[in-house]
């Protein structure tokens, strides 16, 4: 799951060749903005057939945050 999430996040970054760790901050380390993150989360919703409430988006700062959220959904 982690690798696929990283692949999806890379699709929304300017530098798709960048290395992404589980603890890389989307804004600080990866240069993503809120639109990039929103689009990536929409792709993740489609990929994993889940719905992410809008209020949860502001809680996502790292790949690990998203992985944890998806794992909790089961």
The whole domain housing 63 covers: 2-73
Q: Which two tokens stand for residue 33?
A: 């903005």
Find the CATH number of the domain harbouring 40: 1.10.1200.10
Q: What pLDDT, on the 0 to 100 scale, is given for residue 15?
A: 79
Structurally, how many domains does the chain consist of?
A: 1
pLDDT digits (tens, 9 = 90+) for 6-54: 999 999 988 777 789 999 999 999 999 999 999 999 999 999 999 999 8
Q: What pLDDT, on the 0 to 100 scale, is given for residue 74?
A: 75
Residue 36 DSSP SS3: helix
Which pTM value belongs to this model?
Answer: 0.88
Judge whether 5 and 67 are in contact, CB under 8 Å.
yes
């Amino acid at each position: 799951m982690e690798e696929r999430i990283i692949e999806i996040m890379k699709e929304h970054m300017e530098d798709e060749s960048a290395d992404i760790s589980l603890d890389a901050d989307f804004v600080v380390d990866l240069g993503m903005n809120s639109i990039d993150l929103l689009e990536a989360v929409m792709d993740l919703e489609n990929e994993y057939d889940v719905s992410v409430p809008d209020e949860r988006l502001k809680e996502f700062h790292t790949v690990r945050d998203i992985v944890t959220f998806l794992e909790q959904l089961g």
